[in-house]
Amino acid sequence: MLIGSHHIANNLVVAPMAGVTDRPFRRLCKRLGAGLAVSEMVASDPRLRATAKSRRRTDHDGEVEPIVVQIAGADPRQMADAARYNVERGAQIIDINMGCPAKKVCNVAAGSALLQNEPLVAAILSAVVESVSVPVTLKIRTGWDRQHRNAVRVAQIAEGAGIAALSVHGRTRACAFSGTAEYDTIREVKRAVRLPVAANGDIDTPEKARAVLEHTGADAVMIGRAAQGRPWIFREIRHYLDSGEHLPQPTVAEIRAVILEHLDDHYTLYGEETGVRTARKHLGWYCGGLAGGESLRRAVNQLDNAAAQIAAVNRFFDGLAMRGERLAYAAPALAPASAMTAPWVEEDLAA
**Interval 21-46: pLDDT, tens:** 999 999 999 999 999 999 999 989 88
Q: Is 321 left (phi over 0), alpha (psi -120 to 50) or beta?
A: alpha
Write down the pLDDT at residue 180: 87
Average pLDDT over residues 94-121: 76
Average pLDDT over residues 303-320: 93
Question: Which of 161, 215, 210 shows the shortest CA–CA distance to 185?
Answer: 215
- Greater confidence, 315 or 110? 315
Write down the pLDDT at residue 315: 93
Least confident of 56-70, 241-255, 309-323, 333-347: 333-347
Question: Which of 85, 165, 95, 101 shows the shortest CA–CA distance to 124?
Answer: 95
Residue type, 34: A
Percentage of the chain exceeding pLDDT 90: 69
213-255: per-residue pLDDT in tens? 999 999 999 999 999 999 999 999 999 999 999 999 888 889 9
Write down the pLDDT at residue 53: 86
Q: How far are the Cα atoms of 119, 141, 173, 216, 303 from residue 170, in angstroms, in the given order? A: 23, 6, 10, 11, 38
Evaluate if residue 78 carries a pLDDT over 90.
yes
- State the sign of the Cα–Cα–Cα–Cα dihedral 255, 66, 349, 218: negative
Write down the pLDDT at residue 229: 94
Spot the catalytic one: 100, 106, 175, 287. 100
Q: Is 100 annotated in the active site?
A: yes
C-alpha angle 105-188-102 in degrees, rounded to nearest 5 = 10
Question: Which of 1, 349, 342, 346 shows the shortest CA–CA distance to 167?
Answer: 1
162-175: per-residue pLDDT in tens? 999 999 999 887 77
Q: pTM, whole model, 2 decimals?
A: 0.89
The CATH code belonging to domain 2-247 is 3.20.20.70
When the pLDDT of each residue in the chain is averaged and rounded to a whole number, the result is: 88
127-162: per-residue pLDDT in tens? 999 999 999 999 999 987 777 789 999 999 999 999
Least confident of 11-20, 55-64, 121-130: 55-64
Write down the pLDDT at residue 3: 96
Write down the pLDDT at residue 327: 52
